[in-house]
Copies of this chain bind each other. A is one copy, B any other.
Amino acid sequence: MDAEIRFFEVGPRDGLQNESRVLSCEDRAAMIEGLVDAGVRDVEIGSFVHPRWVPQMAQTDEVARQIRRVEGVRYWALVPNLKGLERAAAADVQHVAVFMSATEAHNQSNLNRSLDESLAALKRTTEAAVAQGMVVRAYISTVFGCPFEGDVDFERVLEIGEELLANGAEHLSLGDTIGAGTPLQVAEGCAQAVERFGEDRVALHLHDTQGLAVANALLAYQAGVRLFDGAVGGMGGCPYAPGAAGNLASEDLVNLMLSMGARVDADLGGLCEVTDWLSQEVGLNTRSRYYPYWRSQQEQDT
């Protein structure tokens, strides 16, 4: 196997939004620039959700202005609605992510809307974005398990995905928001999604709640997924999902893919340098498996 993996870094958004500490705009910008220096080509820099709901993501406008933009890198931000889209456009963010759940109960809890209302709202936002020449990612959360409903009908996930892509989204990100997925289940769902939509249109977004994220990523890779989300340092979670732990760490994902013989656009050592900075300078608790090993190797070399 010698596949090409695209890596999508969500740490500055999905990672930081669940940290109790709010980082300064300067630190958020430095984190993003560090990730881009590590070869990251898709990076989610923040969200335009109202700061009342997610104070960690306040001033994403300012972060967007501060970062030195690099040619060929796509800087993404989460937008909850048309108002968020306006703020993204005003901050010169041309890549936006819309989001909804696969289950009524989680969607109501997280977004205070029914699935049909979310589908209609995402259609408006996506069409408005595309009309302005923007590129849209569509997150579907709780695709492999819901904290309220339990098992999820994956056929419903595929139907929602179909509709979001038909609206004009470039690709989907299928989120195991509470880390409830098991390897064979994730592989089966991903195989169906890749077959239906194509490998360029399906990202997998894993959380490591029960310690299965690496196993799930492995079988998803073997099932044909070529685009993976990760959060550097394994930070993050979902504040609205009970029991949800951090995202699959970017460095653990990239190390896994390299171990399988895949090529990845992001650099493993460079990602570890960002985690090292977050851990040693910013003082966040990082949770990746690979980073402590990398650090012990650095210490031996010096």
Contacts and interface: CB of A to CB of B under 8 A. Distances in A.
Interface of A: 179, 182-184, 208-212, 214-215, 218-219, 242-243, 245, 249, 252, 255-256, 259-261, 288-290, 292-293, 296-297, 300
B255 A210 contact: yes
A260 to B, nearest CB: 6
Given A215-B215, A260-B182, A289 B210 contact: yes
Contacts of A255: 210-212
B259 A212 contact: yes
Contacts of A242: 300
Contacts of A219: 218
12 contacts: A182-B259, A183-B259, A208-B289, A210-B293, A211-B293, A212-B256, A214-B214, A215-B256, A215-B259, A243-B296, A243-B300, A245-B293
A292 B245 contact: yes
A218 B292 contact: no
A184 B293 contact: no
Contacts of A208: 289
Given A211-B252, A211-B256, A243-B297, 13 more contacts: A182-B259, A183-B260, A184-B260, A184-B261, A208-B289, A210-B290, A211-B249, A211-B288, A211-B293, A212-B256, A215-B259, A243-B300, A245-B292
Contacts of A259: 182-184, 212, 215
Residue among A218, A249, A259, A296 having the largest count of chain B Cβ atoms under 10 Å: A259
Nearest to A218: B215
Contacts of A289: 208, 210-211
A279 to B, nearest CB: 16
